[in-house]
């Protein structure tokens, strides 16, 4: 009941702000690269988190440009339409939105947005996310460039050139690009050789009504890591290397590299337990976080580190990597280390336990994330951006 009342108050606040900014009655079309379906309750869950809130404030329709056949359905009250880019373009124009939101910078998303732009003057906002925001071979770590298929390099290069053209077109039309972090903005400028003018820095929101705070007390005993076993960038191997001491780390996640990581753990005699599990709902993930004392989330690539932020919102202090955008979202409950210093993790936890500061770190982690990317702050920035965009167009 407490959670429901908090969410009601939060939505009432947003509706009041919406009305004061004269945004009531607008229609939003959202282009996303994927969306949960009735059969698979996962995939682009971050897009669904946003659309749940938008749907309470505006008339919303979600479109998924894809190579799949046309389909339409409703998912938790959100109307969703899949189809080829030309079909999605036609349907979007028929919807006649006030604002077009593009979530993710995949080529198929940008191509569809470009087609829509050629046929309408509707204002657009593109939220670039992760490696879709830049020429990824510059930043996403690989063992060797020679191991990357040439087709992937060519595809990434073509994506970068298309993104550059897209960014220039946005400046000419007065539309906006939103980056998750300052680091991502600079990475995008470096890889596209273009500095866009209409740019905002707005992180992905952490829903603190779901990732609710629970005060951690006493001593650190068990740590948690939630990562897919699909690529080096997620740093599961680093977590295994860091967990060779007396503190246990539970690693949740699925993917083709799971058995490879299990073999590494056996070889290093790491104190880890694997849970080959994908979290279907955010509430399930939040409830799992509450069972732990600290997060261990080492990484090689992050444009924000949403999972790290969500952990801290629940009061979990986190040991993580001092790379790329992560320091921008560090709090008083974040312990940053170099990836070459993973052997220090046990020493760091010993120090926290000896000083008895887990409770202090827990509160600072939560408070810092609320201030940096809590859902109230971020959604207010979204509404102010929509107001600014529409006023400039008028």
Position 3 scores a pLDDT of 75
27-54: pLDDT as tens digits: 999 999 889 888 776 666 778 889 999 9
Q: Does pLDDT of 7 surpass 90?
A: no
Higher pLDDT, 69 or 232: 232
Q: What is the pLDDT of residue 290?
A: 96
In this prediction the pTM is 0.91
201-251 confidence digits (pLDDT tens): 999 999 998 999 999 999 999 999 999 999 888 999 999 999 999 999 999
Looking at residue 143, its pLDDT comes to 52
Q: Are residues 201 and 246 in the same domain?
A: no
Instruction: Tell me if 194 is assigned to some domain.
Output: yes
280 and 346 within one domain? yes
pLDDT band at 147 (very low <50, low <70, confident <90, very high): low
Q: Are residues 384 and 359 in the same domain?
A: no
pLDDT of 144 higher than 60: no
Average pLDDT over residues 132-153: 67
Q: Is 78 left (phi over 0), alpha (psi -120 to 50) or beta?
A: beta
Residues 272 and 168 in one domain: no
| Domain annotation covers residue 24 | yes
User: Do 186 and 266 lie in a common domain?
Assistant: no
Does the residue 51 lie in any domain? yes
Same domain, 383 and 321: no
Give the mean pLDDT of the chain. 91
Looking at the fold, whether 146 and 41 belong to one and the same domain comes out as yes
The per-residue pLDDT for 150 is: 67
Q: Residue 312 pLDDT > 80, yes or no?
A: yes
> Lowest-confidence range among 59-63, 155-159, 289-293, 354-358?
155-159
Same domain, 385 and 324: no
Q: pLDDT value at position 316? A: 98
Do residues 195 and 227 both lie within one domain?
no
> What share of the chain in percent tops pLDDT 70?
95
CATH number at residue 263: 3.40.50.2000
- Evaluate if residue 326 carries a pLDDT over 90: yes
Domain-located, residue 212: no
Per-residue model confidence (pLDDT) at position 224: 98
* Domain region containing 271: 222-373
Q: Give the mean pLDDT of 193-199.
A: 92
95 and 152 belong to one structural domain: yes
Instruction: Provide the pLDDT confidence category of residue 153 given band limits of 50, 70 and 90.
Output: confident
Q: Stretch 155-159: mean pLDDT, rounded?
A: 81
The answer as to whether 154 is a domain residue is yes
Q: What is the pLDDT of residue 42?
A: 67
Residue 217 lies in a domain: no
Residues 106 and 182 in one domain: yes
Count of structural domains, the chain: 2
Residue 389 pLDDT grade (very low, low, confident, very high; cuts 50, 70, 90): very high
3-state SS, the chain, equals CHHHHHHHHHHHHHHHHHHHCCCCCCEEEEEECCCCCCCCCCCCHHHHHHHHHHHHHCEEEEEEECCCCCEEEEECCEEEEEECHHHHHHHHHHHCCCEEEEECCCHHHHHHHHHHHHHCCCCEEEECCHHHHCCHHHCCCCCCHHHCCHHHHHHHHHHHHHHHHHHHHHHHHCCEEEECCHHHHHHHHHHHCCCCCCEEECCCCECCCCCCCCCCCCCCCEEEEECCCCCHHHCHHHHHHHCCCCCEEEEECCCCCHHHHHHHHHHHCCCEEEECCCCCCHHHHHHHHCCCCEEEECCCCCCCCHHHHHHHHCCCCEEEECCCCHHHHCCCCEEEECHHHHHHHHHHHHHHHHHCCHHHHHHHHHHHHHHHHEHHHHHHHHHHHHHHHHHHHC
Residue 17 inside a domain? The answer is yes
Residue 344 lies in a domain: yes
Instruction: State pLDDT tens for residues 12-32.
Output: 999 999 999 999 999 999 999
Q: Would you state the pLDDT for residue 234?
A: 93
pLDDT computed for residue 157 by the predictor: 82
Given this model, what pLDDT does residue 162 score?
86
Determine the pLDDT at residue 315: 97
238 with 196, same domain: the answer is no
Contact between 366 and 314 (Cβ < 8 Å): yes
């Amino acid at each position: 009941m407490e959670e429901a009342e908090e969410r009601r108050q939060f939505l009432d606040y947003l509706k009041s702000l919406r009305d004061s900014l004269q945004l009531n009655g607008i229609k939003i079309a959202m282009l996303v690269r994927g969306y949960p379906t009735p059969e698979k309750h996962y995939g682009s869950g971050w897009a669904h988190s946003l659309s749940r809130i938008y749907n309470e404030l505006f008339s919303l329709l979600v479109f998924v440009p894809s190579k799949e056949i046309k389909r339409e359905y409703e998912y938790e009250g959100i109307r969703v339409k899949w189809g080829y880019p030309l079909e999605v373009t036609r349907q979007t124009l028929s919807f006649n939105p006030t604002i077009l939101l593009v979530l993710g910078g995949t080529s198929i998303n940008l191509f569809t947005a470009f087609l829509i732009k050629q046929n309408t003057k509707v204002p657009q906002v593109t939220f670039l996310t992760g490696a879709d925001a830049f020429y990824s071979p510059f930043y996403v770590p690989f063992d060797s460039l020679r191991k990357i298929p040439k087709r992937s390099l060519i595809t990434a290069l073509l994506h970068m050139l298309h993104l550059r053209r897209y960014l220039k077109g946005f400046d000419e039309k007065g539309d906006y690009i939103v980056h998750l972090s300052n680091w991502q903005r600079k990475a995008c400028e470096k890889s596209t050789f273009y500095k866009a003018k209409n740019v905002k820095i707005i992180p992905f929101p952490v829903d603190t009504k779901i990732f609710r705070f629970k005060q951690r007390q006493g001593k650190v005993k068990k740590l948690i890591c939630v990562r897919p076993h699909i690529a080096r960038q997620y740093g599961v191997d680093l977590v295994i290397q860091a967990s060779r001491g007396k503190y246990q780390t539970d690693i949740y996640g699925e993917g083709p590299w799971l058995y490879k990581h299990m073999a590494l753990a056996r070889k290093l005699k790491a104190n880890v337990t694997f849970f080959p599990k994908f979290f279907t709902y955010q509430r399930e993930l939040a409830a799992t976080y509450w069972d732990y004392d600290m997060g261990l989330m080492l990484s090689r690539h992050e444009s924000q580190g949403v999972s790290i932020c969500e952990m801290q919102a629940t009061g979990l202090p986190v040991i993580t990597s001092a790379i790329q955008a992560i320091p921008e979202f560090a709090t008083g409950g974040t312990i940053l280390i170099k990836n070459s210093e993973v052997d220090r993790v046990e020493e760091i936890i010993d120090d926290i336990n000896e000083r008895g500061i887990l409770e202090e770190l827990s509160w600072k982690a939560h408070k810092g994330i609320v201030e940096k990317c809590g859902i109230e702050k971020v959604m207010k920035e979204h509404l102010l951006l929509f107001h600014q965009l529409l006023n400039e167009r008028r």
